[in-house]
Structures are given as structure tokens and as C-alpha cells.
Amino acid sequence: MSNTLIRALALATLLSASSAQAFVIDGNLSDWGVQRNGSATGWTPNSSAFAYKIEDQHDSYLNPGYGGQAYDAEAMYVAWDTSYLYIGIATGHSPSTPNNPTGNSYGAGDIAIDFGINGSYDYGIELTDSAKKGKVYSNVNWALGVWQSNGAWTGYYDPDLAASRALADPAHPTSILSGTVVGTGNVAYTTVDQNNYGAWTTDLHYFYEVAVPLSAFGTDWADGANFRVHWSENCANDSIWVDATATHRVPEPGTLTLLPLGMLGLMALRRNKAAA
């Protein structure tokens, strides 16, 4: 094998090892360990998830709102590596649901992240807006739902009305109204419903998968703060969130296996030079 070819292979392998993501962002949560097996255990992730929450509800009342499976926030998974934050979401709420509050229809909200878990929700990740999907915002002005902190209805169907926002619970932000773009990630979601997940095999589910660069969070991530990842629909009928602590992680095992290959290529190149 020529020195040029050895050098190219070694470089390609090392670059792959340094840039490989831990998850394929395609809306399929099987790489998190989520299984379509018609059992409650199917929601339990593998060790790739550092934090997660599973609800698997099956009632009309979701707390604080109603809507049943069509507005159910089912499960959330969070992980990260040295470069990216990964988020997986399972829900009964279709990403294609029209946002028409007067018609009692509410679209999907965005992901909110609160570093320090102090209620500030410093960052937001746009999920479904085709022109903004994947953008990460700081200094976010959040829309809120139609429920008060005591669980009572605000009395307004439209969460964007000033009177409704004055009453709505700020602990459950819904959609990004404005903010400062600090990064861009990758978002994928399913629009075709799927059954046979969890204990309620006829319930229909949709999935989101997200990867955003840790650099978007600046010192908030570098300082190793506790943080909360939150998601809800625009009505906030049901919300789900996961708490975790920002830490620096080693590359995923799959990535680590690439490193020796690159090193072997470099060693072979060195031997060839020595023999020349």
C-alpha cells in the first residue's frame, strides 16, 4: 500500500472519530434503545441516554389539560458527547397538528432549556418551523399555555392573548416568540403515526430527535450547571421535562473503536518511512 493511500486512510479515520455523532438524527429512537414491542419496557432506553422520563399515559386528563393521546407527551431522553446535546421525544401529538386555538387545535411547541433550573429557560430550540427548524436561541421570549400554576384554566382559548399570558404558568413555556440565534442544530421528526409502543398498543405515537452543538450554550455548558430540558404543545395540556447535569463526556464507544484504526495507519506510515 502506498504512503499516500495510508496517509489518506489514517486521516479519514481520525476525522471520522472526532466528528461522528452518537445518534442518527432521523426521528427513529431505536438507537436510544426504544423498542416497538408492545410492552411498557419498550420505552426504557439503553445506556446511551444519560437522563430520561417516561409517562406512558392513557387518559383523557393529562394534567393540567385534557386531550388524551392526541396531546400526550409520552417520554423524553437526553444525552451528550463532547460536541453535541441530543434530545429524543415521544408523543401522541402530531407535529402536523394545525395551530388554531379558536378551533381547539394547538400545534407543537419548541424545546426549552433552563440552565440552573431556576425557571429562566435561557435557551430554546425551534422544532417545526420550516424556515427556523434547528436554530438555537438565547434570551428567549416564550409563549405560554392556557393553564395557570394552580392547574386552573386561564379562561382564554388563545394562549397568545395578553390577558391569557398574564395568568399562564411560566413553568411550562411552549413556543419561541423571539430571541437571539446562537447556533444551529439538526432536527428530525415523524409525521406518520406508529402504534405498538408501550403498554397501550393501539395508541399512536410520533417522535422528535434533535442534535445541537454544545458551543451554542457557551459558558452555561462549560460551567457544568444543572439544566432542565422541557417540551410541551402550544396549549401546554401536557408537558414533559428531564433534569441533568452538564458534564464533559468521552467519545462514544463506537467512536473510540475508530481511533486505533487511525493510529495503526499512522504507525504503518512511520514504518514505511523508516524502511525507505
Residues 6+ apart with CB under 8 A from 109: 127, 143, 173, 174, 175, 231, 232, 233, 234, 236
Q: Give me the phi and psi of 170, to 5 degrees please.
A: -70, -10
- Residue 241 falls inside a structural domain: yes
Mean pLDDT of all residues belonging to the chain: 87
- Overall average pLDDT of the 139-153 stretch: 97
| CA distances in angstroms from 117 to 127, 149, 190, 224, 236, listed in the order given | 22, 17, 29, 13, 19
Number of domains into which the chain is organized = 1
- Residue 202 falls inside a structural domain: yes
Q: Which of 103-112, 130-139, 180-189, 257-266 has the lowest mean pLDDT?
A: 257-266
pLDDT for 2 equals 54
Single out the residue of 146, 183, 149, 151 nearest to residue 163, CA to CA.
146
- Residue 151 falls inside a structural domain: yes
Q: Give me the phi and psi of 267, to 5 degrees please.
A: -65, -40
- Residue 71 falls inside a structural domain: yes
- Residue 191 falls inside a structural domain: yes
Query: How far is it, in rounded angstroms, from Cα 272 to Cα 276?
Result: 6
pTM of the model: 0.84
Query: How far is it, in rounded angstroms, from Cα 79 to Cα 213?
Result: 12
- Residue 217 falls inside a structural domain: yes
Query: How far is it, in rounded angstroms, from Cα 155 to Cα 124?
Result: 27
Q: Give me the phi and psi of 177, to 5 degrees please.
A: -90, -40
Which three three-digit cell numbers place residue 261? Answer: 484504526
* pLDDT band, residue 163 (cuts 50/70/90): very high
- Residue 187 falls inside a structural domain: yes
Q: Which of 14-28, 48-62, 82-96, 99-113 has the lowest mean pLDDT?
A: 14-28
pLDDT for 22 equals 84
- Overall average pLDDT of the 106-134 stretch: 96
Query: How far is it, in rounded angstroms, from Cα 107 to Cα 99?
Result: 4
pLDDT for 247 equals 81
Residue carrying C-alpha cell 427556523: 132
Single out the residue of 61, 55, 175 nearest to residue 109, CA to CA.
175
Residues 6+ apart with CB under 8 A from 227: 113, 114, 115, 116, 117, 220, 243, 244, 245, 246
Q: Is the pLDDT of residue 62 over 90?
A: yes
What strands lie across the sheet with 51-54, from one edge to the other? 51-54, 73-80, 84-91, 206-213, 186-189
The end-to-end CA distance of the chain, in Å, is 14
Q: What's the domain range around 166?
A: 21-97+105-250
Helix locations, the chain, DSSP H? 3-19, 162-167, 218-222, 253-256, 258-275
pLDDT for 272 equals 53
* pLDDT band, residue 1 (cuts 50/70/90): low
- Residue 242 falls inside a structural domain: yes
- Overall average pLDDT of the 20-42 stretch: 93
- Overall average pLDDT of the 177-197 stretch: 97
pLDDT for 204 equals 97
